[in-house]
Structure 1
Amino acid sequence: MNQDRTGDVRTEGYITDGFWSRYIELVRDVVVPYQWEVLNDRVPDAAPSHAIDNFRIAAGEKQGDYYGMVFQDSDVAKWLEAVAYLLRRQPDATLERQADDTIELIARAQQPDGYLNTYYICNTAEPRWSNLCECHELYCAGHMIEAAVAYFEATGKRRLLEVMCRFVEHIDAVFGHEAGQIAGYDGHPEIELALMRLYEVTGNERHLALCRFFVDERGRQPHFYDREWEKRGGTHHDFGAGGDGVQPFMLHDKGYSQAHLPVYEQDRAVGHAVRFVYLCTGMAQLAQHSGDERLMAACRRLWDNMATRQLYVTGGIGAQAPRESFTCDFDLPNDAIYGETCAAIGLMFLARQMLMVETDRRYADVMERSLYNNVLAGMALDGQHFFYVNPLEVDPKVLGDNLVLQHVKPVRQRWFTCACCPPNLARLIASLDRYVVGCADNTAFVHLYIGGDYALPLADGTLRLHQQSELPWGSNVSMTVQADNAVNATLALRIPAWAAGFSLDINGEASDISPGDNGYLSIERQWVDGDRISLSFEMPIRRVYPHRAVRHDAGRVALQRGPLVYCMEQADNGEQLHNMALYQGGTLETAEGSDELEGMTLIRAAAVRDAEADSDSLYRFDSAPMKSECTATFIPYFAWANRGEGEMRVWVREVR
C-alpha cells in the first residue's frame, strides 16, 4: 500500500466558507425540515413518502399497508444521518428531539430476533432474505448502520447504534457457509461500506469479517442469484420484467449489480452507477483496514476505467437511462445521459476513500469536479427542488415526445417516488467537512479549499488550521496555524489540475516548492502558532476538449474556470443553442451575475450564430447558412434551471 495513508486518524472540521456555508445553512434551515415534512406526508404537492408511517405500522402502532419503494426505509436513514452531521456542527434541540423520537420508533419496529425492515415486517407473506437480488434488505440495513454511526459520533447517544448492532448480529447469523446459512449478498451494494464504518467505531472483527464475506461472495459460481430465484419458485419483485417464471433482468444482466465476476477479477465500470461506486467504496475501505493489496489493485483498475473512460466533464457517471448504468468506454451522450445525483455523491464517497488509502491528486480532482458540478446541480438554489437526472444538454420541446429522453426533466422536481437523491444530497452537504482534509503519521493533507477550522491529529501533536478561501469565484486561499505548542510536521497542499499555475508564500516570504508526483505540494517544517500560508492559483477561463474517441463531443468545446464547469442557457442566449458556436481563440471574459445569479461569475464568449434560412425547406442544396457574430453567455452548470424552463448546453461547437 502507498505509505501516504490518510485513513488511520479522524480529523475534525467546522466549515465557515463564503460559498459552502450558505449551502450547509440551506440544508439545516430548509432541506432537512422540508424532507421531514415529506417523510411525514405533510407536503401536498410532493409525491407521498409514507416512510415514517411504514415504521409505525411495523411497530404495531398504526393500521394500514406498507407503501412506497421496497427500499423506503433508506430515506429515513439518510435523513437521520444528515441530522447527525448538523447536530455535530451545532446543537438544535428541536432537530435532536425529532431524531430521538424517530430512533425510538425504529427501535420499537425492530423484531425480537433483531431483524429490521418495514417492507418485510409489514408484508409477512413474503419471507425475509428470500429475494436479495432485487429487494434491498441489506441495502436498507447499510443506510441505517451509517445513520447509527453518524448519530453516535455526533451526540454520543448509543440507542440507534445498539439497535443496528443487534441487527448486524442477526445478519451475521443468517449469512455464511454453515448449514442453514445463506451464501449470498444484496443486489444493491451498500452493506459493505456501512459495515466498515461500523467496524471503525466498534473495532469488532466480526463486522470486518462480515464485510469480507459479502465482498468475496459477489460473482462467485454457481451464481447466487440463479440459485435464489430457483429456490423461491421463479417469482420476482416488481423490478423484474414479465410474469412469474420469467427471469428478471438482474439475472440475465449480472453486471447490472457488479455480480458478473468476482470483484478481484473485475476491471471495468459496468452496470448501475450507484451500485458500482458504493461497492468500490466498501472494497477500498476493506482493503485499507485489512491490508489486502489484491483488493486495492482491483479498486485502482476500476477507478482508472471509470475516471479516464466513463466520467462526464461535470463529474457525473452513468451514461444511459436503462438500468441507470454505464455503457462502454467513451460513450458519453449529453442529452440521453442519466448522471444520477446519487451516483455523483457515491463517486465522492469513493474518491474520499481512495484518498484515505493513497493520497493522489487524481482522486481529489474528481471529488472536487463532482462536488461543484453534478452534485450541486442536483438541488435548486431554494433547497426545495431536486434533479434526479443531470443532463449536459436539454431542449424542453423534445422531451415530451422523445421516449429516449423521457427520464430527463427541464426543471427540478419537488420530490420523487424513488426519493433517494434529496436525502443523499442533504447528508453529503451536511458532512462536507469530512472531505476537506486528511492526515497520516506526521503529514496533514488539504484536499479541498473550503474555508473553515480543521483539527488534524499528527504524530508530533495536533495541527489546527484556519482556512479562508475565495473559491470557486476567486483564486486566493490562506491558512493560519493555531497551535499551543510547536508541531514538527508536513503540510501537503493539493495543486488542482485546473490551475494554470500557482504562487506560494509562507509567513510573507515567497516559496518555490514544487508539487510531488502525487500532485501535492509538501511543506515540512516546525509549525508554530500564527504561521500563515498564502496560496494563489492562476484561474483563467479554460477551454476543455474531449478525447477523440468521444463521438458526441467531436468538434465541440466546454468552458471551465476553477472547479466550475459552465453551460449556456436559453434565458441568456435565446432558443436553438445548437446553432451557436464559439470562435476558436476568441475572447473569453468574466462578468458578474444578477438577480437569481447574483454573486456568481459568468463568462462572455465571442461566438457566431447560424442565421434564419430564406427557405423553409427541411434540406436544401449548396446553400450554407448565413452567420452573424454574437456574444454567448455561460453560467455555472450547477445553477442552470433556476430561472424557468429552457434549453441548456455544456458542449458547444467551435469554429475558426
Structure 2
Amino acid sequence: MLETIKLTSEFWSRYQEVVSKNVIPYQWQALNDQLPDAEPSHAVKNFEIAAGLAEGEYYGEVFQDSDVAKWIETVAYSLREYPNQELSERVDRLIEIIGQAQEEDGYLNTYYQLKHPEYKWANLRDNHELYCAGHFIEAAVAYYQSTGKRQLLSIMEKFVELIQQTFGSEAGKRHGYPGHEEIELALLRMYDVTDNPMHLELAKYFIEERGKAPNYFEGEKEERQGKDLTWNDDNHINFGLGYEYQQAHLPIRQQEQAVGHAVRAVYYYTAVADLAKKIGDQSLTETVKRLWQDIVERQMYITGGIGSSAIGESFTCHHDLPNDTMYCETCASVGLAFFANKMQQLELSGEYGDIFEKLIYNGTISGMNLTGDRFFYVNPLEINQFQKHRKDQEHVLYERQKWLKTACCPPNLARFIASLDRYILSEETETITIHQYISCEYQSQGFSLTLQSDLPWNGAIRLTIKSKEVVKKAIRLRIPEWTKETVQIYVNQQSKTLPIEQGYVTLEESWQNQDTITLEFDMSPKLIYANQQVIENIGKVAIQKGPVIYCLEELDNGADLARLYVEELADVETQELPSLYQGKALTFTGYRMAGNSTKMYHDKGVTFEKTALTAVPYYAWGNRGYGEMRVWLNKY
C-alpha cells in the first residue's frame, strides 16, 4: 500500500512539505542540542556515548530514546515523497550508531546502559524500556518498508528475541508488561512484515497479561524494596490514580470504561483491536468496541481531544469535559487516530472514518504551528485572562513552544502527518473502500484511481478510473456524518440514489476507462450542541463547517470573549486569510454583552449589542499572535 498511493492534496501536501523541509531538520537540530534557548535533548549523544563514540553522561527523561525512533520513522515516510540522499545517509549513519550501541545479547536502552545497567527490567511500571523498544520497532518497520534496508529491522529483531526470552508465562520468565503501552502495537506491525509467529505471540502475551492478579507492578515494587532505586518514588504512585493509570487494574476482557493515562489507553486499545482482527477473537472485538464507544460517546472533546485532566494526563469520568483546564495531549489525539484506523480494519463502520477525519483536521495538527517549528503538548479549547494567574492551570499555554522537555508530541505528530497516505483507502479482492477524501493517485493491479478533493474547504469530490480493461470492483464510499442527509452522488454525470449502510454507499459497477464518480457534500456552516450532561457547555454552541471546528480569537474579536453570543449563522461569509495559508475564516453577526454596572454584584440586568464576529479554524489558532481563544460560544 505504501508504494501505490501518491498524495496530491493541496492541504496535506503543504503539511507534508512542512514536515519534510522544516520539521525533520528542525527536530534533528533539537535531538542534537543545536536549538538556542530551547530545552536540550541530548538524545543522539546518548546513543553515541553508549556506542563508545563519545564521552559523557546520560541526559534526559527515561524515554529519551523514543524521540530518536520517531524521528527515524518520520524520515522513512517522508523519503517516499521527498527523496533526499543526504538525509538518507544521515539516517543510515545514525542506525549504524544505534547498532554499535546495542549490547551483545540484543539489549538496547541508553538510559539503563549508561545510568543504571544493574537495574534492567527492574521498573517496568515507570521507566519505559519496552515503550522505547516499541517505538524503535515501528521505526524499523517503516524504514524497511520505505527503503528496503533491513539494518534497523535486524537490530530490533535481535532485541525482540531477548525480550521474548525475558518475558512470558513460562517458569523462570518475568510475568510482566510495560507501564506505558506501545510495544504491543509495534510487535503486531513487525509481525505484518516478518510473519514471525513469535512477534504475534509476544504481543498477545503483553496484551492479555496486563491486569491479571496478582498485579505485576505490586510484586515489582516489593522486589525493589531495599535496593538503591532512588529515582523511583513509590509514595506518589500513578498520581493517586491506582493501576487504572496504566490500564492494569483488570484483564482486558473485563474492562468496561476507558481509564487512566489517555495516550497509554489508546495505544493499548489500538493493539487490542489489531490483535482481535489478526486472531479472530470475538471477545476482544466486543471489548474494544465497548471501550471505543466509551471514549467517543462520553469522554471525547469536539476536536477529537481526549484526556480531560492534567493529573496523570488522564480520563476522569463520563461527560467531564472542561474547556479551560483540560489536557488533550497531542499524542493522545494521534493515538486515537491510530485506534480509529484499527477499528476501521476490524469492522466496517463510517463512524471510525468520521472520528479519524475529525482528528486530522482538528485535534492533531493544532499541536504544531503552520511553519513546523513551534509545538503544543496540551491543546486547550479555551484561553482566558485568568489562566496565567492560576498555578493549577500552568499546563495551559497561550503560545506553542520551540521544544519540550517531554518531547513526545512533536515527533509523534510529524510521523503521523508524513504517513497520512496509509489511511486514505483500502482494497480487498472485490472492493475498494474510500475512507478519507484526500486527493491522491492510487495505482492497483491493472487500473488506477484518481481522487480529487479540496476538503476541508470544498465538498466537491471526484474519482476517475483509468484502465485498459473493464474493472469489476465495487467502490465503497464513506458518507461523512456532517453531510449524510444532503449528499449527492453521480456516476458519469448520472444521479444515483443509494442507501447508506454502516456509513458507506456502495457502487456495484463494471468500470471502464475514464469513468467518473462525483460526490457533492453539503458544506454549510452549522451550530453544534454538546450533550446536556457536559455541564460546561450548557447554553453554548460550537461552529463546524465540513470537518473543521472553528474558534474565536481575541485578535479578531477583541478581549472578553466570554461576553460574546451567537444566534444563528444565516449571514456567514468566507474570508481568505493569507496568514493562515489555506485557512479560511468565517465572518458573521453576533452579540456582545454590555455591562451596566461597576458593582461586583447587582440587579440591573444586561444589554446586548450586535457585533461582527470572525471565527478561524481551531487547528490554526495562535499563529497570528496571542490572546484569548474559545471554541464553545454562548448561545443567544
* Residues in 2 aligned to 1:588 and 1:196: alpha-carbon distance in whole angstroms: 51
Q: Partner amino acid for 1:444?
A: I
* Residues in 1 aligned to 2:199 and 2:65: alpha-carbon distance in whole angstroms: 22
Query: How far off is 1:530 after superposition?
Result: 1.5
* Residues in 2 aligned to 1:282 and 1:178: alpha-carbon distance in whole angstroms: 23
Q: What is residue 510 of structure 1 aligned with on the other side?
A: 495
Q: What is residue 610 of structure 1 aligned with on the other side?
A: 593
Q: What is residue 643 of structure 1 aligned with on the other side?
A: 624
Contact 2:488–2:520 (CA<8 Å) still a contact in 1? yes
1:128-207 residue pairs with structure 2 within 5 A? Answer: 128-207=120-199
CA gap of 1:588–1:183, structure 2 versus 1, over 3 A, is: farther
The 10-residue stretch of structure 1 (431-440 or 73-82) with the greater mean CA deviation from structure 2: 431-440
Q: What is residue 476 of structure 2 aligned with on the other side?
A: 492
- Normalised by the length of structure 1, the TM-score is 0.94
Contact 2:450–2:464 (CA<8 Å) still a contact in 1? yes
Which of 413, 430, 446 is 1:442 aligned to? Answer: 430
* Residues in 2 aligned to 1:199 and 1:239: alpha-carbon distance in whole angstroms: 35
CA gap of 1:174–1:251, structure 2 versus 1, over 3 A, is: farther
Q: What is residue 5 of structure 1 aligned with on the other side?
A: none
Deviations 1:124-145 (A, max 9, x none): 4541000000000000000000
Query: How far off is 1:352 after superposition?
Result: 0.6
* Residues in 2 aligned to 1:618 and 1:126: alpha-carbon distance in whole angstroms: 63
* Residues in 2 aligned to 1:46 and 1:317: alpha-carbon distance in whole angstroms: 27
Q: What is residue 261 of structure 1 aligned with on the other side?
A: 250
- Structure 1: tracts of 5 or more residues without a match: 1-8
Contact 1:12–1:434 (CA<8 Å) still a contact in 2? no
* Residues in 2 aligned to 1:233 and 1:252: alpha-carbon distance in whole angstroms: 22
* Residues in 1 aligned to 2:282 and 2:157: alpha-carbon distance in whole angstroms: 29
Contact 1:229–1:235 (CA<8 Å) still a contact in 2? no
Does 2:326 align with 1:337? yes
Query: How far off is 1:248 after superposition?
Result: 2.2
Does 2:45 align with 1:64? no
1:243-254 residue pairs with structure 2 within 5 A? Answer: 246=235, 248-249=237-238, 253-254=242-243
Which of 416, 419, 430 is 1:431 aligned to? Answer: 419
Deviations 1:140-175 (A, max 9, x none): 000000000000000000000000000000000000
Deviations 1:329-355 (A, max 9, x none): 000000011000000000110101111
Contact 1:315–1:369 (CA<8 Å) still a contact in 2? yes
Q: What is residue 375 of structure 1 aligned with on the other side?
A: 364
* Residues in 2 aligned to 1:31 and 1:110: alpha-carbon distance in whole angstroms: 28
Q: What is residue 517 of structure 2 aligned with on the other side?
A: 533
Query: How far off is 1:178 after superposition?
Result: 2.6
Q: Partner amino acid for 1:31?
A: V
* Residues in 1 aligned to 2:281 and 2:569: alpha-carbon distance in whole angstroms: 51
* Residues in 2 aligned to 1:10 and 1:25: alpha-carbon distance in whole angstroms: 18
Query: How far off is 1:73 after superposition?
Result: 0.4
1:622-633 residue pairs with structure 2 within 5 A? Answer: 622-633=603-614
* Residues in 1 aligned to 2:397 and 2:477: alpha-carbon distance in whole angstroms: 39
Which of 88, 99, 110 is 2:91 aligned to? Answer: 99
- Normalised by the length of structure 2, the TM-score is 0.97
* Residues in 1 aligned to 2:274 and 2:578: alpha-carbon distance in whole angstroms: 44
The 10-residue stretch of structure 1 (314-323 or 589-598) with the greater mean CA deviation from structure 2: 589-598
Q: What is residue 348 of structure 2 aligned with on the other side?
A: 359
Does 2:590 align with 1:590? no
Query: How far off is 1:95 after superposition?
Result: 1.2
CA gap of 1:42–1:523, structure 2 versus 1, over 3 A, is: same
CA gap of 1:303–1:112, structure 2 versus 1, over 3 A, is: same
* Residues in 1 aligned to 2:399 and 2:98: alpha-carbon distance in whole angstroms: 35
Which of 277, 283, 292 is 2:266 aligned to? Answer: 277
Identity, % of aligned positions: 45
Contact 1:240–1:247 (CA<8 Å) still a contact in 2? no
* Residues in 2 aligned to 1:489 and 1:463: alpha-carbon distance in whole angstroms: 11
Report which structure shows greater RCO (CA 8 Å, sep ≥6).
Answer: 1
Which of 439, 457, 478 is 1:451 aligned to? Answer: 439
Secondary structure in 2 matching 1:135: coil
Secondary structure in 1 matching 2:508: strand
Runs of 4+ in 1 over 6 A off after TM superposition: 234-239
Query: How far off is 1:513 after superposition?
Result: 1.9
Query: How far off is 1:464 after superposition?
Result: 2.4
Contact 1:487–1:528 (CA<8 Å) still a contact in 2? yes
* Residues in 2 aligned to 1:236 and 1:301: alpha-carbon distance in whole angstroms: 42
Deviations 1:374-393 (A, max 9, x none): 10111101110011100100
Which of 619, 629, 634 is 2:601 aligned to? Answer: 619
Deviations 1:21-47 (A, max 9, x none): 100000000001100111111111221
Contact 2:461–2:520 (CA<8 Å) still a contact in 1? yes
Secondary structure in 1 matching 2:433: strand
Secondary structure in 1 matching 2:473: strand
CA gap of 1:333–1:234, structure 2 versus 1, over 3 A, is: farther
* Residues in 2 aligned to 1:300 and 1:478: alpha-carbon distance in whole angstroms: 33
Contact 1:592–1:600 (CA<8 Å) still a contact in 2? no
* Residues in 2 aligned to 1:551 and 1:161: alpha-carbon distance in whole angstroms: 49
* Residues in 2 aligned to 1:235 and 1:603: alpha-carbon distance in whole angstroms: 61
CA gap of 1:633–1:102, structure 2 versus 1, over 3 A, is: same
* Residues in 2 aligned to 1:158 and 1:213: alpha-carbon distance in whole angstroms: 26
Query: How far off is 1:236 after superposition?
Result: 9.3
Q: Partner amino acid for 2:588?
A: A
Q: What is residue 523 of structure 1 aligned with on the other side?
A: 507
Secondary structure in 1 matching 2:456: coil
Q: Partner amino acid for 1:92?
A: N
Deviations 1:524-554 (A, max 9, x none): 1112221111111011101100101110000
Query: How far off is 1:235 after superposition?
Result: 6.6
Contact 1:11–1:454 (CA<8 Å) still a contact in 2? no
* Residues in 2 aligned to 1:639 and 1:230: alpha-carbon distance in whole angstroms: 49
Q: Partner amino acid for 1:611?
A: A
1:406-425 residue pairs with structure 2 within 5 A? Answer: 406-425=394-413
Q: What is residue 387 of structure 1 aligned with on the other side?
A: 376
* Residues in 1 aligned to 2:442 and 2:366: alpha-carbon distance in whole angstroms: 27
1:200-239 residue pairs with structure 2 within 5 A? Answer: 200-233=192-225
- Structure 2: tracts of 5 or more residues without a match: none
Contact 1:240–1:250 (CA<8 Å) still a contact in 2? no
Aligned residues: 635
Contact 2:399–2:622 (CA<8 Å) still a contact in 1? yes
Q: Partner amino acid for 1:18?
A: E
Which of 455, 461, 476 is 1:477 aligned to? Answer: 461
Deviations 1:91-148 (A, max 9, x none): 2101101110111110000000000000001014541000000000000000000000
Secondary structure in 2 matching 1:132: coil
* Residues in 1 aligned to 2:267 and 2:559: alpha-carbon distance in whole angstroms: 39
Q: What is residue 6 of structure 1 aligned with on the other side?
A: none
Q: Could you say what the CA RMSD is over the residues aligned between the two structures, in angstroms? A: 1.6
* Residues in 2 aligned to 1:321 and 1:198: alpha-carbon distance in whole angstroms: 33
* Residues in 2 aligned to 1:66 and 1:182: alpha-carbon distance in whole angstroms: 27
Which of 277, 288, 293 is 1:299 aligned to? Answer: 288
Contact 1:239–1:248 (CA<8 Å) still a contact in 2? no
The 10-residue stretch of structure 1 (402-411 or 9-18) with the greater mean CA deviation from structure 2: 9-18
CA gap of 1:413–1:247, structure 2 versus 1, over 3 A, is: closer
Contact 1:226–1:251 (CA<8 Å) still a contact in 2? no
Deviations 1:170-210 (A, max 9, x none): 00000013332100000000000000000000000010000
Deviations 1:419-461 (A, max 9, x none): 00000111000000011111223111111110011235xxxx5
